[in-house]
Chain A
């Protein structure tokens, strides 16, 4: 990587996506637990780099989920059917709450695959849940 490469920076209007597990959303939207995990920073993905269908497909490849559902192969359609969803939130909304980006080792806001580590999301999970939207079905399934 050339040292003079332009750093990748998030803009306020950039949309970040996060996997939502079954039970962490309802008819009123996303629940705060969708933005909490055991880590200090929470994983999001830049929607333009990894749209909702691709995000679910990524998690469908995790061995722990294949084991849990007793399937040798899973795809985004399976995960959607099992109740997984994708939450979307603008980076500017996270920044306004005081959440910050933990940059990659190369000094970028997001990795080659669009992965973003957000610090502080856990502390403001309730507020994030209020502004988060659930990705529409047609963006989550059948992307191939």
Chain B
């Protein structure tokens, strides 16, 4: 069901009446593929809430215990993530699928990571 929902998020330019970036079919297909990998690789992670983003991405959004994590899928080669606690301000940074796996593991799995600083090495500001 969620896969069909994501595939319906293809959008033309200015789809939100505020100059929103187009969302391509490639972004939608990539979001489905990334989601399927995350659900397979992170034990206990629930299905996210999903939505079209004005930045041209498909958003996969998880919320648990005051933590918010959004994975923005622009294409198979471009991901962005935003992680924040309730009441905090945060900006999207470029990330990899492995970074997302680590964030989600922290949010939803009971085992600790052996390399908790690895995500800092992966993260870099999103260009443009």
The answer to whether B86 and A62 have CB atoms under 8 Å apart is no
The number of chain B residues with a CB under 8 A from chain A is: 29
Choose from B9, B16, B19, B68 the contact partner of A126 (Cβ within 8 Å): B68
Complex: A23 Cα to B51 Cα, angstroms? 5
Please indicate the chain B residues that have their CB under 8 angstroms from the CB of A32 in the complex: 51, 59, 61, 68, 70
Minimum CB–CB distance for B63 against chain A, Å: 7
- Whether, in the assembled complex, A75 has its beta carbon less than 8 Å from a beta carbon of chain B, the answer is no
Complex: A36 Cα to B53 Cα, angstroms? 8
Interface residues of B in 1-34 (CB under 8 A from A): 5, 8-9, 12, 14-21
The answer to whether A124 and B63 have CB atoms under 8 Å apart is no
The answer to whether B49 and A26 have CB atoms under 8 Å apart is yes
- Whether, in the assembled complex, A143 has its beta carbon less than 8 Å from a beta carbon of chain B, the answer is no
Minimum CB–CB distance for B53 against chain A, Å: 5
Please indicate the chain B residues that have their CB under 8 angstroms from the CB of A80 in the complex: none
Complex: A129 Cα to B8 Cα, angstroms? 22
**SS of B interface (majority):** loop
Least CB separation from A36: chain B residue: B54
Please indicate the chain A residues that have their CB under 8 angstroms from the CB of B87 in the complex: 97, 124, 127
What mask results when residues 56 to 78 of chain B are scored 1 for a CB within 8 Å of chain A, else 0?
00010101000010100000000
Least CB separation from A98: chain B residue: B89
What mask results when residues 41 to 71 of chain A are scored 1 for a CB within 8 Å of chain B, else 0?
0010000000000000001001011001000
- Whether, in the assembled complex, A123 has its beta carbon less than 8 Å from a beta carbon of chain B, the answer is yes
Minimum CB–CB distance for A116 against chain B, Å: 15
The answer to whether B17 and A126 have CB atoms under 8 Å apart is no
Q: Taking beta carbons and an 8 Å cutoff, which residues of B are in contact with A?
A: 5, 8-9, 12, 14-21, 49-55, 59, 61, 63, 68, 70, 84, 86-87, 89-90
Q: Can you list 24 A-B contacts (CB < 8 A)?
A: A19-B17, A23-B5, A23-B8, A24-B52, A31-B59, A33-B52, A33-B54, A33-B59, A36-B55, A37-B18, A37-B54, A38-B18, A38-B54, A43-B18, A59-B17, A62-B17, A64-B14, A65-B17, A68-B12, A68-B15, A123-B90, A126-B63, A126-B70, A127-B86
